[in-house]
Structure 1
Amino acid sequence: MTGIETTGKGKRWPSERKTSVDRLTGLEVTQLTDYKAHSHHLYFTENGWYDRERRLLFVSDRGNSTNLYSMDVESGEITQLTDYEKNNALDACLLPDGSAAFVKLGSRLIRLDLSTLEERVVYEAPAGYHLGNASSTSDSRHVLTCVQEDLSHRIRLDLGNGYVGHRELMEAAPHSMIVRIDADSGKAGKVYEANKFITHINASTTEPWLMTFCHEGPWHLVDHRIWGLDLRTGEAWRIRERLEAGEKVGHEFFYPDGTTIGYHGFRADGTNFFGSIRYDNTGLEETEFGFDTWHGYADGLGQAVVDGKGAVKSLSLWRKQNGKYEGPRMLCELRCSFHSQKVHAHPRFDERGKRLLFTSDKNGYANLYLIDIPERFEELPIFRP
C-alpha cells in the first residue's frame, strides 16, 4: 500500500491473516489482524460472530481512531463499519439475529444496520450520567444497558486503564439505572435502579425476560457481585453467594442454555476456581486450580478456558471426562499484558466449541487470534507455569 492511508465507512481492507506454529504446543495459531494499532474482539460476554459464523465484529484503532469493523473470517477481508474521528473508546453488542449491532459511543447508543451501515441513535444517557455496556435480549427485540451517576468531579477515574477510582466509586454508591430499549423504535424504559455502582449488563442467551448485572467494585469488598433480574417484574436477587469470608467471584457470563451462569473466582488462601450455577441458585459446580487468572470462560459443551496472569503466559484448557473437568492442559502461548481493557485476552469459544478466539499484544499491539481446539485433549501438554 502506498501514499497516505485513509479510513472510512465501507472501506475494504485486504486480509492481514497469517499463521504460525505455537512454540508450547505445536498447534497452528491464526493471527487475524496485523496492524500497528490495537485491534480486539468484543467483550468476552458478547458474541461477535454472525452470518453463520462467517463474519466477526471487532474493534480497531487503525487510522488513529477507534471504530467498529467486520471480518470475513475465511478470506480475511475487513470492512470498516463506522467512521468516528478522534475517538478513543467504543463498545458494541450484536443482535442475535445478526441484523444490527448496537454501538456505545460516549453517552450515546447507536443502532448500526449491518447490511446498509445506516446508523441511528436509539438512546442517550441522561445529563449527569455515564452510559454502561449494552447487551441484546435473545429475541432481538430489546437492548439492555445501564447508566451510572457521573461522579468524576469528585473522584479521579480511569477505569479502563488500571481501574483507577474503582474502589472509591463503589464506596460513593452512585445512583444507577438499568434501561430496556426497543431495538427498532428506541423507546426506552427504566427497569431497575439502586444507589450502587451497577455494570456488567448481560442478557440471557435464550430467555428474553432474564438478565444479570453486577455491583461493581473490588470483588472481595462489594456487598455482593452477581445479581439476577426478572425483566417482567423488576425483581432482583443474589446469585452465587460467598461461601467463605474474603472470597472473590465475578466475570459472570451466560452459558448457551441461557439459564446457567459461568464465573471464576479466588479464595483468601490463594486458591482459584471456575464454576457455574443456574439463575435460581441450583446446580452449583466448581473446579479448583492453583494459579491466578484474569478471566475464565466455558462453552457449555464440556470445555473451559482461563487466560492466566503474572507468571502464567499460556491459555489453559479443561475438558469434561465422565462428568468431571480434567486438566489444565496448555492450548497455546498467550503473553498478553492486560495493561488496559484494549489488551485483555478475553478468550471465547465459538458456538460449537471448535475454535477459540482471543486477543494478545505479544508483538506490542493487540491483535485477534484464532486457534482450532484439538479433538484429542490428551495430546495437549500438561499445564506448567
Structure 2
Amino acid sequence: MADELRQGPNAGRTLPAERDRYADPETGAQVTRLTSDPDADSRHLYFTEPGWYDDGRRLLVRSDRDGTQQLYSIALESGEITQLTDLPAEISGVTRVATEPTALCWCADRLVALDLESLAVTPLYELPDGYTGSIAAGTADGARAVVALSEELDLEGRSNDREQWIADRMRAGPHSRVISVPLSGGEPTVHVEEDRWLNHVNASPTRPELVTYCEEGTWEDVDRIRALNLETDETWLVRPTDDDEAVGHEYWLADGETIGYHGWRGGRDDPEAFFGHVRYDGADCREWPAPDIYTHFHGNTRKLVVGDGTYRSAPFDLLWEWDDDADEYRTPRKLAAHGWSGDDDVHPHSRLSPDGNRVVFDSSRGGTGSDVYLVEIPDDRDELPAFEGVAE
C-alpha cells in the first residue's frame, strides 16, 4: 500500500458521558440517550452490523464531533466515550469481527482492520481506481474480510432524487466483484464478478463459509438476496421474488443459518407489506404482516423481533413476540418513540442487543443531526401498549 496509515493523537482519548435517561412518555419504557453533542452527528453501526463488544459492555458508534467521521466506543455502564480512530480520512462501512476484538472499516480507499484493544490499524486492501466498496463483513472464524466492489459511474451524484439515482445506477449495470481478503495479510480472492450492481455483504455469525450479498437496485426490479459459499464460489438466490414481489434489508439471525428480511406484494402505492425469515438455502420460508414497506427489522432469534415502525404514521420501535401455543406472532407492542419523520430524516436502524434485553436506535428527535439511543425491553412486555394500526 502507498503510505503507512497512522493514528493521530486523539485515538484513545476519553470524553465525559453525554447520556440522559427518561421514561418514554407513551410506553413507559426506560430510554437512555447515549450521545448529545449538539454539533455532532452520531450513529450506531448499520443495523446489520454487530456493534456491541467487550461482553456487551461497550457499543461502537460513528461520530463527526471533530469535523470528520471517526469511530468511538461508549461504555454502557458509565456512559464514558472513547475515541477509537483518529485517521487522516473519514471512516465508513464499519463492522465488527464476531470472534475477535477487531473492527473493519474503510478509510478513504483503504480497507483496514482496527484492534479494539490496542487501537493498532492494519491496512488490508486498497480499492482499484474507479471503484467503491461496500460495508465490510468479517467471517465467523475471524479469518477473512469480505466486501463488494462496484464501478463508479458518471451518474454518481447527478440526481437529487435518491430512488431515481438507484434506478439509473442499477440499469447502467456497473462492473462489480465480491472479494475476500485475509485478515492476516495476503492477496484478495475474487469470488463473484458480474456486470450488475452488487453490494452489501453480510457474513453468517456461525458459518465461516457463508455470506449473503445483494443485487442492488429498486427492489421491484431485482432478485436481491443472494448467498455465496466462499469455499466453492457457488452462489444462489435465497428468497426469489415473483413479478409482484419485492424483498430486502436482509440480515443474519444469531444461529448463522436463518436470514431475516422484509418486503411487499403489489405496488408501492397499495402494498401488502410483510417481514420474514428463511433458511440460507431457501428452505423454511415464513412471512408475517408488517405495518409498512418503509422500515427495517432485526432479530437474534424468531422469538423476538424489533421493527422500526415507519415514518408513515408509526414513528416508534415495535416489538413482535412469538407465541409458541398459537404458532404465530402476537400483536406487536410499541417500545419507544423515535420520531422518524421521513426518508430524508435519520433512519432508526433499530437492532436488538445480543442478550435481547435492549434495542439501539438513531434519532434526530433531540435536535439537529443524529444521536444514539438505547431502550430497555420490559420483562413483562404486556405492559407496553399494543400497536393495532396500519400505516396509511
Normalised-by-shorter TM-score class: over 0.9
Q: Does 1:22 align with 2:41?
A: no
Distance 1:188 1:340, change over 3 A: farther
* SS of aligned partner of 1:318: strand
CA contact (8 A) 2:163 2:218 kept: no
Deviation at residue 102 of structure 1 after TM alignment: 1.0
Equivalent residue for 2:348?
345
| Range 199-208 or range 310-319, more displaced | 310-319
Q: Does 1:226 align with 2:202?
A: no
Structure 1 runs of 4+ aligned residues shifted over 6 Å read none
CA contact (8 A) 1:132 1:147 kept: yes
Instruction: Output one character per residue of 1:266-291: Cα deviation in whole Å (capped at 9) or x when no partner.
Output: 22141211100001111111111343
CA distance in 1, matches of 2:314, 2:45: 23
| Cα displacement string for residues 7-34 of structure 1 (whole angstroms, at most 9, x for unaligned residues) | 8211110111110110110111111111
Deviation of 1:107 after TM superposition, in Å, equals 1.7
Distance in 2, Cα, partners of 1:166 & 1:292: 17
Matches within 5 A, 1:29-40: 29-36=31-38, 37-40=40-43
Partner of 1:3: none
Q: Distance in 1 between matches of 2:143 and 2:301?
A: 25
User: Any idea what SS the aligned residue of 1:382 has?
Assistant: coil
CA deviations 1:12-63 (Å, max 9, x no partner) are 1011111011011011111111112110111111101111011111100101
Seq. identity, % = 36
What SS does the corresponding residue of 1:133 show, helix, strand or coil? coil
1:149 matched residue in structure 2: 151
Q: Which amino acid aligns with 2:46?
A: Y
Contact 2:252/2:258 (8 A) holds in 1: yes
Question: Match for residue 171 of structure 2?
Answer: 171
**1:62 corresponds to:** 65
Q: TM-score, normalised by structure 1?
A: 0.92
Q: Which residue of 1 aligns with 2:312?
A: 310
TM-score by length of 2: 0.91
Name which of structure 1's ranges 248-257 and 307-316 shifts more when overlaid on structure 2: 307-316
**What amino acid sits opposite 1:228 in the alignment?**
A
Paired AA for residue 280 in structure 2: Y
Give the 3-state SS of the residue equivalent to 1:15 in structure 2: coil
Within a 5 Å distance, the mapping from 1:269-284 to structure 2 comes to 269-284=270-285
Q: Does 1:285 align with 2:286?
A: yes
Please state how far the C-alpha of 1:196 moved relative to its aligned partner.
1.0
Q: Helix, strand or coil: the match of 1:252?
A: strand
Root-mean-square deviation (Å): 2.0
Q: In the alignment, does 2:361 pair up with 1:362?
A: no
Q: Contact 1:162–1:339 at 8 Å: present in 2 too?
A: no
Q: Give 1:203's aligned residue.
A: 203
Aligned equivalent of 2:4: none
Tell me the distance in 2 between the aligned counterparts of 1:354 and 1:301: 15
**Cα distance in 1, alignment partners of residues 311 and 337 from structure 2:** 12
Query: 1:71 — aligned with what?
Result: 74
Report the secondary structure of 2:66's partner residue: helix
**Aligned pair in 2 of structure 1 residues 108, 193: CA closer, same or farther (>3 Å)?**
same
Change in CA separation of 1:384 and 1:334 when aligned onto 2, cut-off 3 Å: farther
TM-aligned CA deviation for residue 85 of structure 1: 5.1
CA 1:178 to 1:85, structure 2 compared with 1: closer, same or farther past 3 Å? same
Q: Distance in 1 between matches of 2:107 and 2:295?
A: 26
> Are the aligned partners of 1:29 and 1:370 in contact in 2 as well (CA < 8 Å)?
yes
Q: CA deviation at 1:154?
A: 4.1
CA displacement at 1:368 relative to structure 2 = 0.9
SS at match of 2:382: helix
Counterpart amino acid of residue 281 in structure 2: D
Hey, what's the Cα distance between the residues in 1 that align with 2:198 and 2:344?
Answer: 20
Q: Relative to 1, partners in 2 of residues 1:197 and 1:288: Cα closer, same or farther, differing over 3 Å?
A: same
Cα distance between partner residues in 1 of 2:18 and 2:148: 36
TM-aligned CA deviation for residue 296 of structure 1: 1.2
Contact conserved, 1:176 with 1:193, CA < 8 A, in 2? yes
Which of 247, 265, 287 is matched with 2:245 structurally?
Answer: 247
Are the aligned partners of 1:162 and 1:340 in contact in 2 as well (CA < 8 Å)?
Answer: no
- Distance in structure 1 (CA, Å) of the matches to 2:215 and 2:158: 17
- SS of residue matched to 1:299: strand
Partner of 1:332: 336
Whole-angstrom CA distance in 1 between matches of 2:247 and 2:378: 30
Alpha-carbon distance, 1:338 to partner = 5.5
2-structure distance, mates of 1:235, 1:291:
34
> How far 1:337 moved relative to its partner?
4.2
**Stretch of structure 1 that moved more, 289-298 or 353-362:** 289-298
In structure 2, what is the Cα distance between the partners aligned to 1:198 and 1:150? 12
Deviation at 1:325, TM superposition (A): 0.7
The answer as to whether partners of 1:93 and 1:101 remain within 8 angstroms in 2 is yes
In the alignment, structure 2 segments of 5+ residues that lack a partner are 1-7
Moved more, 285-294 or 30-39: 285-294
1:126 aligns with 128
